[in-house]
Amino acid sequence: AGIYQKFMDQKKTGKKAFAVLIDPDKMSDADIDRIVDHALQARVDYFFVGGSLVVVNTVDQNIQRIKSRCDIPVVLFPGSPSQVSKYADALFYLSLISGRNPELLIGQHVISAAMVRSSGLEIMPTGYMVIDGGAPTSVSYIANTAPIPADKDNIALCTAMAGEMLGLRLIYMDAGSGAKNPIQENMIRRVAGSIAVPLIVGGGIRTPEKAAANCKAGADVIVVGNAIEKDIHLMQALSEAVHQSC
């Protein structure tokens, strides 16, 4: 079955998934090997690969390395069309619905449509919502668009609802990589309660407690990047907290 089906099956049974974000900026083979070893141990469900700013693009190389060492599915989370790789399993086809920058709503999609279609990747139309994380992150700067204020739950839930009615199949709420403040549980609860598609939550999550609380609030998939880059041993505790929260 495809990756989207996996998300849906998991949601139907009330299970929660844990994803590790790999920022393919100068990731060496040795870095990847270390992450994969820990991820197998920790029973990580997915690798998401991508970033808002990639100086040295190692996406193809990183994914091939991951694939040579494990069967954990790899989903592209591209900051730009240059991060699309045929070696992945699937692609979050992101439209930045929290923003009002036409380039990230549809412009980049048009430019890369033929290339994306011919990649053979499973395409997952995803409503990407950036929530204010307390300090500017790369994503809000690069996207040149205002994030949804952290306490405006109604804006977040109407944005997610509109995205779902437009036909988007996933909602990804992100406080931005390395966000000072992760998304508040109340906003997650309100958004989760108003949509039927799977909800992915990330940005600034640093503790197993926060990961578990987000799942209880209704997140289906928790994604962590920075905190694991700083301390790889956190991966195990985060993954356990997510899996035990259901």
Is 140 annotated among the ligand-binding residues? no
Q: Which stretch binds ligand 1GP (CB under 6 A): 7-15, 89-97, 114-122, 176-184?
A: 176-184
Q: How many CA atoms lie within 13 A of 64 on its CB side?
A: 8
Among 24, 99, 178, 198, binds ligand 1GP (CB under 6 A): 178
Q: Which stretch binds ligand 1GP (CB under 6 A): 1-9, 62-70, 81-89, 172-180?
A: 172-180
Shortest Cβ 238–ligand 1GP spacing (Å): 10
Does residue 125 interact with ligand 1GP by CB under 6 A?
no
Return the number of the residue (68 or 101) whose C-beta is nearest ligand 1GP. Answer: 101
Shortest Cβ 206–ligand 1GP spacing (Å): 8
The set of residues, in sequence order, having a beta carbon less than 8 Å from that of 220 and lying 6+ positions away, is 7, 10, 11, 16, 17, 192, 198, 199, 200
Structure tokens at 17: 């998934």
d(CA 131, CA 197): 19
d(CA 115, CA 74): 19
Does residue 147 interact with ligand 1GP by CB under 6 A?
no
d(CA 9, CA 127): 20
**Interface contacts to ligand 1GP, rule CB under 6 A:** 21, 174, 177-179, 202-205, 223-227
